[in-house]
Amino acid sequence: MRRISTTFYNELLEELEDLREVAESCAVIVEGKNDEKALRNLGVKTQFFQVCNGVPFHDVCDKIVAEFSDVILFTDLDREGNKLNRKLKSCLSQRGVRVNDRLRISLMNKLETDHVEDVYNRMMRIEGRFFNLL
């Protein structure tokens, strides 16, 4: 894990706050319940859609399109997550939904994880290391 500087920690907090603010006015799409739980634990308050919950893919997309014009995609950065991200982005964009996946890539890269379900624990670990340095 990288060295924790005040600058890095503040950038991380700004990214997290940006996610919280943007999510207030749109939906967040995750793969499953553990991903949703991790983001909720970080203070993301919005409607979540889980795409790996047994509901057919196009039914999930139909519901999102009917309710939202903007979404944040927050799938894993592994092979399957990236594949799902591309599929969702294509399906939703073609139907007029603005898709934001910038926050996913940036935050998860800073937290050095490919899995959304790990973001909360990573953030807590970084926070603990930062405050131990003070």
What's the pTM value of the predicted model, to 2 decimals? 0.91
For 6-129, CATH number out of 3.40.1360.10, 3.10.20.520, 3.30.70.660, 2.30.33.40 equals: 3.40.1360.10
Q: What is the pLDDT of residue 36?
A: 98
Q: What is the pLDDT of residue 17?
A: 96
- Name which of 28, 74, 69, 31 is nearest 53 in CA terms: 31
- Name which of 32, 36, 7, 12 is nearest 23 in CA terms: 36
Q: Where are the chain's structural domains?
A: 6-129
Q: What is the pLDDT of residue 129?
A: 80
Starting at the edge strand that comes first in sequence, how are the strands of the sheet with 70-73 ordered?
48-50, 27-30, 70-73, 98-100
Q: CB of 28 within 8 A of CB of 109?
A: no
pLDDT tens digits, residue range 50-107? 999 888 999 999 999 999 999 999 999 999 999 999 999 999 999 999 999 999 999 9
Average pLDDT over residues 12-17: 94
